[in-house]
Chain A
Amino acid sequence: MQIYLPIAELSVDVFLLLGLGGAIGFLSGLFGVGGGFLMTPILIFIGIPPPVAVGTEANQIVASSVSGVLAHWRRGNVDFKMGGILLLGGLLGSTLGVWLFAVLRQLGQIDLVIKLCYVTFLGIIGGLMFVESLRALGRRRRATAARDKMHKHTWIHGLPLKMRFRRSKLYISALLPAGVGVLVGVLSAIMGVGGGFIMVPAMIYLLGMPTAVVVGTSLFQIIFVTANVTFLQAYANQTVDVVLAVILLTGAVIGAQFGARAGAKLRGEQLRILLALMVLVVCGKLLYDLTVTPADLYSIGGGE
């Protein structure tokens, strides 16, 4: 059954969209990730204009983060103070990002920049995750491996504006989470992602937050940043397709339930290797499309 998407201005099979939403929802439930970094490229693959894919995906992530954060909140796994600082940076970054998006669109380079961002970040994250989980599997076999020192003192701890984060048991400079927030905000606006796949590793490895509060806190920040992106993309670029967002979301909500159940039955390292491989496949496909000689060197830009 075809449905006409009013903002994307094309008609797509509803069941294809529901199926995609369901499949990505399943994966996000399985791996505990937002799924935006998989959904946006796939929307682009099926022919949704990249700017609409990005704007709409931000809208969909608002919904999936809300349902996620409520669950974490009930378990007390949200560090609101840390979330607030991340959010300040995120709002700044995402506003900057949407502005950058509009400029790039005018220059005719937005599609390229979206794809390059994806190739870069999917490549880095997928590669690191793959190597790390292979090592973890190896470590499991060699039970007596040397452990890293718990706390390393680096230049990071010398930054000014130190703040105490009780819930995260940290005393660090506020500039650090704010900086992470800005970076994630910019990426959120340009890539149409929540940015969890960058923020979570940054919170664990860079800020040194305890794993238990990381996911809840990042989801808390993601809600507001993606809401900001949704608003600004709708306002400045008119690229948010509510119809598309609602269809994807319906599929994703259902898929996530099954994914979470399946995830409980699989081992962590194996899951992460699978996720890493998938990320690398999407990255490879995007990179291939950028480097292979296009069938037609000429293309039509926006009609504006």
Chain B
Amino acid sequence: MIRIAALLTVLFAAAPLRAAPIVVDLSEHLVAITAGFAGAEVLLFGAVDEPGDVVVIVRGPTRPMIMYRKSRHFGIWVNADHMTFEDVPAYYAIASTRPLEDIAAPTVLARNEMGVENLRLELPRAKASPNVAQDWREALIRNQQRAGLYPAEAGRVGFLGDRLFRTRLTLPANVPTGAYEAKVYYLREGQIVSAQTTPLFVSKVGVEAEIFDFAYEQSALYGIVAILVALMAGWLAHIAFRRA
């Protein structure tokens, strides 16, 4: 019975018109930040029903982000101006089978926010003229790239044969926590045929998570425990000193 079901599934999958044009999955859906965390690698793999191009975009949770610009006062560089972006993805990475400009027209790329330069990072409109807004936007991207959160190099999606593809998503050690999504676009002749989204969670796990939650949820108690730990350590050191 099961065998027949499996056979049917394979047959349906093989039938070009009935099957989903693209299927995608991740090697894992949870990236756990533990004490020894130094970045992580997640494998994204999938299949398409006909040869074409694949673009993978990984986005972190969006959040408001405040940016400062320094200017010199009395010989010292001071944060003088600031600007708040409303919805900034905490992480943004892209991978594709070929260079983006060879895959699709600029309008297609822009509409789907393919490439950091096409990210829609909105400033409150009243606050800045277009030129100034562009400066702030570029600065935000530059800062995120420097922090490794918007990898400057586009990743490569590799095909195994005509159907199967895979790519490695590399998350740096300072990756922000939250709900991520990997959106996979399947394009043929410059047009998007289909897209698939798969979730990815980055969260602190174990002791790290407990300490963090403790510090934020029971701040007063955390402070007292921190002091007690220090008092204890100091007393132990005193005993060790006396022996020495």
Contact = CB atoms under 8 A, between A and B. Distances in A.
Interface residues of B, number: 61
A64 B234 contact: yes
A301 interface: yes
Given A6-B208, A231-B223, A300 B71 contact: no
Interface stretch (B16-24, B111-119, B139-147): B139-147
Contact of A62 (B64, B66, B77, B227): B227
A10 B240 CA distance: 32
A108 B84 CA distance: 12
A32 to B, nearest CB: 14
Contacts, number: 181
A227 B238 CA distance: 18
A240 B218 CA distance: 13
Nearest to A299: B68
B79 to A, nearest CB: 5
Contact of B36 (A2, A59, A60): A2
Interface string A287-304: 000110110111111110
A116 B139 CA distance: 26
A4 B173 contact: yes
A235 B219 contact: yes
Contacts of A6: 204, 207-209, 211-212, 215
Given A63-B230, A108-B68, A298 B143 contact: yes
A296 B229 contact: no
A85 interface: no
Interface stretch (A87-95, A176-184, A241-249): A241-249
A301 B222 CA distance: 25
Interface in B104-147: 136, 139-140, 142-144, 146-147
Contact of B70 (A63, A71, A236, A297): A297
Query: Which of A7, A60, A299 has the most chain B CB atoms closer than 10 A to its own CB?
Result: A299
B66 A302 contact: yes
B10 interface: no
Contacts of B237: 63-64, 66-67, 253, 256
A1 interface: yes
A56 to B, nearest CB: 9
Contacts of A217: none
A12 B238 CA distance: 28
Contacts of B90: 303
B13 interface: no
Given A66-B234, A235-B219, 13 more contacts: A2-B38, A6-B212, A67-B235, A70-B234, A112-B79, A238-B216, A242-B226, A246-B229, A249-B233, A253-B237, A256-B237, A298-B67, A298-B139
Q: What are the 8 closest A-B residue pairs judged by CB atoms, nearest first?
A: A66-B234, A234-B223, A298-B139, A62-B230, A231-B223, A63-B234, A301-B66, A67-B237
